[in-house]
Structure 1
Amino acid sequence: MPVRARVIIDNDFGGDPDGLFQLAHHVLCASTEVVLVIASRVADAMIAPGRDIVAEGVEAADEVLEMAGSRLRALPGSRAALGAGAAPPESAAADAIVAEAMRADTALPLFYAAGGGLTALATAYLIEPRIAERVTLVWIGGHGYDAPPDNVEFNTSADLVAAQVVFRSPMAIWQVPEPTYGQCLVSWAELDRDIAPSGALGSYLVERWRRFTQGIERRFHTSLGECAVLGDSPLVLLTSLQGTFRAEPSSSPSRELPRRPIQDDGSYGPPATDLPPVRVFTGIDMRLMYADLVAKLALAGGDAQQEGAHVAPGRTLK
């Protein structure tokens, strides 16, 4: 199958395991070429002191990449958020983004699929502003536009300054805000029936998420119910599972809204008339997104068993 586009994946793989589901799904897609994988930070308030969430994310992403049969390995993103008005820090991830965006040997469009904070992308833009003309950001993040927020949205909080930098740039943005990614619910019964039996990779993904959920429930003395959120999987749907005659995410509804900079409290400011609009997705084609994930994991699991691939089913989860 001919490749239609390139994809840079940037996610907090050491945090919620939905990013690992997205990573596995993305690298199993044939119509897009994953060219970079970046493990990013989460907000400092979200992690225990002493944890290196970026290093944990690199390790988790590399495990998934290996089991999915990819030769790629993850790059570590910055462990620190951007400072307001500060010069961009040195960053191997940002340098790799610039190099990929500025390539002259390909005409394939470039998507930046981000399921967490935007530190690496904002840093790359500050280093080389011309990348804004060459990249379409597909971002899982930001509040919805129909009600005032009462806090800073989770992915925005990973690096508020970075989100502000990107939203004040002329970069094309496709946004899946909180009310939309919150629609991406699947039940544990579905995960256990459809994904856990799909070879070592499917088993790994479900088990990792189960342990994450159990840890959250113990820590906060609460119940997360019988559903999990595939909140990062729209990144696959919108970039890889596009229409046939026209490469367009036509199965999920969206609307174009005026670009509104992100304020210090996480809300949106007045429209910026000198910047392009934002394509905001208001719904997600869950049937296609989930069914394709299940099918690709099943096929990958079957192929691995038939070929006798060594995929280390007894991995220890962190």
Structure 2
Amino acid sequence: MTAVRFKPYAGPRCRVITDNDYCGDPDGLAQLVHQLLSPAAELRGVIGSHLPADPSNAARRSADESYERAVEVLSIMEREVPAYAGSNVAHADTGTPRPSAGAEAIVAEAMRTDTDLPLYATFGAGLTELASAYLMEPRIAERLTAIWIGGPEYPDLASPPPGPPATEYNLSIDLAAAQVVFDSPIPLWQVPRDAYRQTIAGMAEIEAYVRPAGRIGEHLYDRLCAVGEYMARTGRNLGETYIMGDSPLVLLSTLQSNFDPDTSSSRHVLRPAPRITDDGGYEERPDGRLIRVYTHLDVRLMLQDFYAKLALLRK
């Protein structure tokens, strides 16, 4: 299943290997579909990652379940892209990797010597596989750029959402892994909570633009609706919007400017990488390497490109 329309004249401009909790909120599935429909990037691998265990049904939050959900999307879209499972558990400490097929795939792709295409490793949940890959082979730090959806607001840049203070969700999946990555020399583009919460789509536009896109459109729409239905049963009202919080992974890695490729339509600040504290906060580190912290995302480009590519599937 491929949209037979425009493709970059000179071929892909980058490689992407993407890691997400596909067994969790379905924004990860939407991100995967968008990435599969984006010819400017050569998708080299899809990794299913874990969520914190649920004692009532741990299997439904495992990396194995995420892998199966990713394979289901690849099958519907008739795409042959290697898929891997990550670790089913978080790091016990910051010095011991959690070996997995997903972590090994990151190492193998980063260490290739037969291509000059830059590599983006994108993460929409925890950083388990990236931290493990780095602990297994530190040289990957010189051979990829990591893009992560996660981490709380920086106090001088934004305020947290209303409600009781809580550790940002993706950070809480594997706090030790985040500590490894932030302490490493890996180039990092971070999309913290205040930025990814900008990616709001109306359920009406999702019904109008996503649902009609054949089997994959129906699949995504059903998954998105299931979230609202489940939350309603548990006493939460999600209203009529949905946050496409993982889609910035496609925006930042793949939908870059044509001349002088970069994320020119989104805004970021450069700041020394902080330490991640044991309570999920930031500790300033003036001598840390510079990382990008995104403050504003081009949601128009991100969503309209996704909707347009889905529409082309129907042509």
TM-score by length of 2: 0.91
Give 4+ residue runs of structure 1 displaced > 4 Å after superposition. Answer: none
Structure 1 residues 260-275: aligned runs within 5 Å: 260-273=274-287, 275=288
**Partner residue of 1:312?**
none
Q: In 2, are the aligned partners of 1:199 and 1:298 still within 8 Å (CA)?
A: no
Correspondence for 1:210 among 198, 205, 225:
225
C-alpha deviation, 1:138, in angstroms: 0.6
Pick aligned residue for 2:149 from 134, 140, 154: 140
**Matching residue's letter, 2:229:** Q
Counterpart CA distance in 2 for 1:3 and 1:85 is 35
Partner deviation per Cα, 1:53-101 (whole Å, 9 max, x = no partner): 2222112111212223310142111001001155223322111111110
Q: Does the 8 Å contact 1:257/1:277 carry over to 2?
A: yes
In structure 1, the gaps of 5 or more residues are 303-318
SS at match of 2:276: coil
- Any conservation in 2 of the 1:6–1:108 contact (CA below 8 Å)? yes
Q: In the alignment, residue 291 of structure 1 is paired with which amino acid?
A: Q
Q: Quote the residue 1:18 is aligned against.
A: 27
Q: Could you report, residue by residue, the CA deviation over 1:10-67 in whole angstroms, capped at 9, with x for unpaired residues?
A: 000000000000000001101101101000011235x733334222211211121222
Q: Deviations over 1:203-235 (max 9, x none)?
A: 1101111012211221x2121111001000000
RMSD: 1.5
Q: In structure 2, how many angstroms separate the alpha carbons of the residues matched to 1:260 and 1:84? A: 18
Partner of residue 196, structure 1: 211
What is the rounded CA distance, in whole Å, between the counterparts of 1:111 and 1:223 in structure 2?
36
Count of residue pairs the alignment pairs up:
299
* Separation (CA, whole Å) in 2 of partners of 1:204 and 1:81: 29
Letter in 2 for 1:252: S
TM superposition shift of 1:148: 7.8
TM-score by length of 1: 0.90
Residues in 2 aligned to 1:173 and 1:89: alpha-carbon distance in whole angstroms:
21
Amino acid at match of 2:74: L
Q: Determine the structure 2 residue equivalent to 1:35.
A: 44
1:61 is matched with which residue: 63, 70, 73?
70
1:138–1:59 Cα change, 3 Å: same
Aligned residues of 1:201 and 1:301 also touching (Cα < 8 A): no
Alpha carbons 1:58, 1:74 under 8 Å: kept? yes
Partner of residue 174, structure 1: 189
SS of 2:59's partner is coil
2:43 match: secondary structure: strand
- CA deviation digits over 1:240-292, x for unaligned, max 9? 1110111101001111111101111110012150x321101111111110000
Q: Identity rate of aligned residues, in percent? A: 45
How far did 1:164 drift?
0.5
> 2:91–2:174: 8 Å Cα contact kept in structure 1?
yes
Q: Give the alignment of 1:120-135 within 5 angstroms.
A: 120-135=129-144
Equivalent position of 1:281 in the other structure: 294
Query: What's 1:254 paired with?
Result: 268
Q: Judging changes above 3 Å, is the alpha-carbon distance between structure 1 residues 272 and 80 closer, same or farther for their aligned structure 2 residues?
A: farther
Name the structure 1 match of 2:3: none
Is this contact kept in 1: 2:94–2:179, CA < 8 A?
Answer: no
- The 5-angstrom pairing of residues 43-192 of structure 1 reads 43-44=52-53, 48-53=56-61, 54-146=63-155, 150-192=165-207
- SS of equivalent residue, structure 2 residue 282: coil
Find the counterpart in structure 1 of residue 5 from structure 2: none
Give me the whole-angstrom Cα distance separating, in 1, the residues matched to 2:213 and 2:252: 24
Aligned partner letter, 2:251: L
Cα distance in 1 between the residues matched to 2:34 and 2:99: 31
Structure 1 residues 74 and 213: alpha-carbon distance in aligned structure 2, compared to 1, 3 A threshold: farther
